[in-house]
Copies of this chain bind each other. A is one copy, B any other.
Amino acid sequence: MPREITAYSNPLIKRIRSLREKKHRREEGLFLAEGLRILTEARENGRIPEYLFYSREGAGHPLVRTLIFDVEDSGGQAIETVPDILSKLSGKDNPQAVVGVFAEFAGALGVLDRTSADIWLVAERLRDPGNLGTILRTGDAVGAGGLILIGECVDPFSVEAVRASMGALFTVPVVMAEWSEFLPWLRSGPGQLVGLSLDTENDYRAAKYDAPTFLLTGNEAQGMPAEMAAECDLLVKIPMLGKADSLNAAVATAVMAYEVLAQRRG
């Protein structure tokens, strides 16, 4: 039976709101996702929230009713609340109709099946949550097997990353690994490691990509370290005609990923 919470001082609300901070996410193993579109995407991929918050108005929507049913059926809690509390949970002035709290589920390299996809995305020291979410969204679109985050990256379960992913967090496997783990894993099977770089003359459109292709994007400000570039099977450059010397990291990843996809599609 759904319960109702209308007081912002309720301890559960305070606890859920604390999940906006990484420290609390790690302690609880939980994260926030908001909006009917993203929660429906999650549900279609078998991810049901532990807690579901919705407003009385939102409960009129058939998809919200479906979510409420599934949450209760799986032993979670569906909680009716007021728009003001939904706002507080999501950190947005215009609260989405629903906010879900999910168990974190990052995978490990060992469970990835590299033969399951032709394109894999790899990002090292990615700092911007919007870029991370956008890269996941692109990963979904190009049919990537997963996103492998190397080193100190922004948390893929941050509210901003989940939001920018538009649900792709639930469709594209995410793995966090150190370079020292990733490289031996990569070399234990087939896979071409392609690095985006400014220090090469290889045009990304002229290069030939072999499946599975692992596209490596470096840190937003610094690019990738020389020792990583040295391990790449191929370094490629996206031409830049302007006065700036770099593209946004999510844009560069997407331009590359769509070129690889175009070659696959012939």
Interface string of A109-153 (1 = CB under 8 A from B): 000000000000000000000100010011111110000000000
* Residue from B130, B140, B244 in contact with A242 in the complex, judged by beta carbons closer than 8 Å: B140
Q: Which of A142, A255, A261 has the most CB of B within 10 A?
A: A255
Residues of B within 8 A of A242 (CB): 139-143, 168, 171-172
Residue of B nearest to A170 (CB): B243
Q: Which of A44, A140, A240, A242 has the most CB of B within 10 A?
A: A242
Residues of B within 8 A of A138 (CB): 247-248, 251
Q: Which of A41, A44, A45, A130 has the most CB of B within 10 A?
A: A130
* Residue from B137, B246, B255 in contact with A244 in the complex, judged by beta carbons closer than 8 Å: B137
Quick one: copies of this chain in the complex? 2
> Are B244 and A168 within 8 A (Cβ)?
yes
* Residue from B142, B241, B254 in contact with A143 in the complex, judged by beta carbons closer than 8 Å: B241
Residue of B nearest to A172 (CB): B242
A236 to chain B, nearest CB (A): 13
> Are B142 and A241 within 8 A (Cβ)?
yes
A163 to chain B, nearest CB (A): 11
Residues of B within 8 A of A167 (CB): 243-244
Interface residues, chain A, with chain B CB atoms under 8 Å away: 41, 44-45, 130, 134, 137-143, 164, 166-168, 171-172, 205, 238-244, 246-248, 250-251, 254-255, 258, 261-262, 265
